[in-house]
């Protein structure tokens, strides 16, 4: 069993990963969270929902993860005062999730120490909430300007440097407020969520298949991970298992997404320390992977290739041979480039010791995914919760203890070569041609959850259906929710010019935390 709390009844959920669900009272939330934390577990996601159509007011949903699997807790809250205890004192990563839950649903952590708006930015009237079922977007439109109350750092010689929210490059907006003495950073505070896209609201009016397309666009660099997690959640509700061929093909696409992103980021890391050669060479390799994606699967970034029930693409014999040749080329070229990076004195001088996150701090703050593994957080869903076909692949987890830019680059290299090994193994098992049967409808009043180890970390999608089996609530969760706050700690004591390098070594998603 995942937890041993005496007052709750856990119901096992059907699905590709081990998961349990329980409906609990408000008073039981904190003790359960403490038990999971004390046992080495973590917070995965937190969101709210409007259940008034069912005569139940509102609900808080919290998903925890420990060595046994996922524990999905639902707490019913009264319509008049939808409040719950602050769990950010147990799991610091909950802070921004709780603030977002208030902005979108109106449920709030009544003992929370931070109630500043996170997503609203004056885009809708204070006191109105987009994820209420009766929300009227036309009536709630608001153009009032709001200033965010950043924490002020005072003292002799202390200066503030505001960066963003609009940046010089073609990237999404985010405000970074540095408090510095000279070039040494005393404090960094982030404010994100400037491009609220209404993704969660949009899901409410979509069919299952339309929702699959939207899920793949939550964060474009993780389209395979989101599409698979969405499909997994739907298949959990429908009690459907895709055919083996479809599952092997999903794993192939997921590893190709990991390969492409690691290649691109290793190039960016070289560029941020003035090694333009590294940037050019790694992006030549990434471009070849993307071109092969387009030629073999019909899309450079593999969008819409995974659908609930199966896949919408396949690979012929010639395509397998091409990918075998690609693997050999990437292993050879990336191996040479790794040697150059590790022997280049200028690169190592900038990488080593920069942006360090100690393992103890990483554990306390819930750092996850690739960045977490670089700080000795040995969590990888492909290993601990190996769904098919990863249960047959024996994934070798890449970890490091130093927690600096050099460690995060090292983990990227290790994961790149491991993904190439896995791709080869997948190709030998990619037999048959059954793509699966598309799911069109789901059972009524269902709840399903999917979790996939994307290249950045754990991508989760939770799905609720209504009395007609339609999408009532879909919550996609990006690992960047956990990792953005850690970046504020990673920069402390470093100089301002190192921030782009530290930031890129994490490479977190703006879009994934701005739903």
Q: pLDDT for 169-202, tens place per residue?
A: 777 889 999 999 999 999 999 999 888 889 999 9
Query: Does residue 181 fall inside a structural domain?
Result: yes
d(CA 168, CA 316): 43
Please provide residue 200's backbone torsions phi and psi, each rounded to the nearest 5 degrees.
Answer: -65, -35
Q: How many CB atoms lie within 10 A of CB 162?
A: 10
Q: Is residue 214 part of a domain?
A: no
Q: Judge if 286 and 342 occupy the same domain.
A: yes
Of 164-173, 349-358, 462-471, 492-501, least confident by mean pLDDT is 164-173
CA dist., res. 63 & res. 103, Å (int): 20
Q: What pTM did the predictor assign?
A: 0.96
Judgement on whether residues 69 and 176 belong to the same structural domain of the protein: no
74 located within any domain: yes
Same domain, 305 and 417: yes
Same domain, 132 and 166: no
Say yes or no: 167 and 120 in one domain.
no
Same domain, 69 and 172: no
For the record, the structure tokens of 228 come out as 């698979």
Look at residue 190 in the predicted model and tell me its pLDDT. Answer: 96
85/75 Cα distance (integer angstroms): 11
Do 295 and 368 sit in the same domain of this protein?
yes
| 97 in any annotated domain | yes
Q: Are residues 488 and 419 in the same domain?
A: yes
- Three-state secondary-structure class, residue 120: coil
Owning domain of residue 173: 158-191
Q: Cα separation of 83 and 77, whole Å?
A: 7
- Which neighbouring-strand residues pair with 20? 12, 71
Q: Any alpha helices (H) in 43-132, and if so which ranges?
A: 94-105
- What does 14-66 look like in DSSP terms, one character per residue? -SSS-EEEEEE-HHHHHHHHHHHHHTT-EEEEEEEEE-GGGT--EEEEEEEEE
DSSP letter at 151? P
Q: Structurally, how many domains does the chain consist of?
A: 3
Report how far residue 509's alpha carbon sits from residue 218's, in angstroms, rounded to the nearest whole number.
10
For residue 238, what is the enclosing H or E element? helix 223-238
Spell out the alpha helix ranges (H) of 106-222. Answer: 137-140, 199-203, 208-215
User: Residue range 427-453: average pLDDT?
Assistant: 90
Total residue count of the chain as it appears in this document = 515
Tens digit of each residue's pLDDT (9 = 90 or more) over 213-268: 999 999 999 999 999 999 999 999 999 999 999 999 999 999 999 999 999 999 99
Measured between alpha carbons, how far is 104 from 449 in angstroms, rounded to an integer?
Answer: 21
At 8-17, the pLDDT tens digits run 666 778 777 8
Q: Cβ contacts of residue 324 below 8 Å, gap of 6+? A: 424, 427
Q: Name the token pair of 238.
A: 């429908």
- 55-64, 85-94, 124-133, 359-368: range with lowest mean pLDDT: 124-133
Query: Same domain for 491 and 373?
Result: yes
Residue 391 shares a structural domain with residue 508: yes
Nearest by Cα to 498 from 366, 352, 368, 377:
352
**Hey, is 454 helix, strand or coil?**
coil
Domain CATH code at residue 291: 1.10.645.10
pLDDT in tens, 312-325: 999 999 999 999 99
What are the structure tokens assigned to 147, written together? 């200033």
CATH number of the domain encompassing residue 101? 3.30.460.80
Whether residue 300 is contained in a domain is answered as yes
Do 326 and 273 have their domain in common? yes
């Amino acid at each position: 069993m995942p937890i041993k709390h005496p007052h709750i009844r856990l119901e096992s959920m059907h699905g590709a990963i081990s998961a349990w669900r329980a409906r609990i009272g408000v008073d039981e939330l904190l003790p359960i969270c403490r038990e999971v934390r004390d046992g080495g577990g973590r917070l995965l996601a937190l969101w709210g929902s409007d259940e008034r159509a069912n005569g139940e007011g509102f609900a808080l949903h919290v998903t925890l993860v420990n060595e046994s699997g996922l524990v999905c807790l639902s707490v019913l809250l009264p319509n008049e005062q939808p409040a719950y205890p602050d769990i950010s004192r147990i799991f610091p990563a909950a802070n921004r999730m709780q603030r977002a839950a208030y902005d979108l649903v109106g449920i709030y952590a009544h003992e929370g120490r931070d109630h500043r708006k996170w997503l609203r930015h004056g885009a809708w009237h204070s006191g109105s909430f987009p994820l209420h079922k009766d929300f009227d977007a036309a009536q709630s439109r608001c153009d009032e300007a709001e200033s965010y109350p950043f924490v002020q750092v005072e003292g002799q010689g202390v200066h503030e440097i505001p960066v963003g929210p609009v940046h010089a490059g073609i990237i999404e907006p985010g405000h970074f407020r540095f408090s510095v003495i000279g070039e040494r950073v005393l404090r960094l505070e982030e404010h994100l969520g400037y491009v609220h896209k209404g993704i969660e609201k949009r899901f409410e009016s979509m069919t299952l298949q339309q929702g699959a397309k939207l899920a793949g666009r939550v964060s474009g660099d993780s389209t395979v991970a989101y599409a698979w997690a969405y499909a997994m959640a739907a298949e959990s509700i429908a009690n459907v298992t895709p055919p083996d061929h479809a599952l092997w093909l999903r794993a192939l696409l997921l590893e190709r997404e990991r390969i492409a992103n690691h290649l691109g980021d290793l190039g960016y890391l070289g560029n941020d320390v003035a090694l333009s050669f590294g940037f050019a060479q790694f992006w030549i390799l990434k471009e070849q992977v993307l071109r092969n994606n387009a030629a073999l699967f019909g899309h450079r970034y593999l969008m819409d290739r995974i659908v609930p029930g199966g896949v919408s693409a396949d690979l012929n014999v010639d395509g397998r041979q091409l990918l075998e040749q690609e693997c050999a080329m990437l292993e050879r070229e990336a191996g040479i480039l790794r040697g150059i990076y590790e022997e280049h004195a200028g690169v190592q001088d900038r990488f080593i010791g920069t942006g360090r996150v100690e393992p103890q701090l990483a554990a306390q703050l819930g750092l996850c995914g690739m960045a977490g593994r670089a700080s000795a957080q040995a969590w990888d869903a492909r290993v601990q919760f190996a769904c098919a076909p990863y249960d047959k692949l024996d994934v070798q987890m890449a970890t490091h203890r130093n927690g600096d830019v050099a460690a995060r680059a090292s983990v990227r290299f290790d994961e790149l070569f491991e993904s190439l090994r896995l791709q080869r193994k997948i190709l030998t098992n990619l037999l048959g041609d059954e793509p699966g049967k598309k799911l069109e409808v789901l059972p009524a009043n269902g709840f399903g959850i999917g979790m996939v180890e994307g290249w950045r970390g754990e991508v989760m999608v939770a799905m609720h259906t209504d009395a007609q089996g339609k999408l009532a609530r879909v919550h996609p969760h990006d690992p960047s929710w956990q990792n953005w706050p850690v970046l504020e700690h990673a920069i402390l004591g470093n100089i301002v010019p190192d921030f782009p390098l530290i930031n890129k070594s994490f490479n977190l998603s703006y879009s994934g935390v701005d739903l």
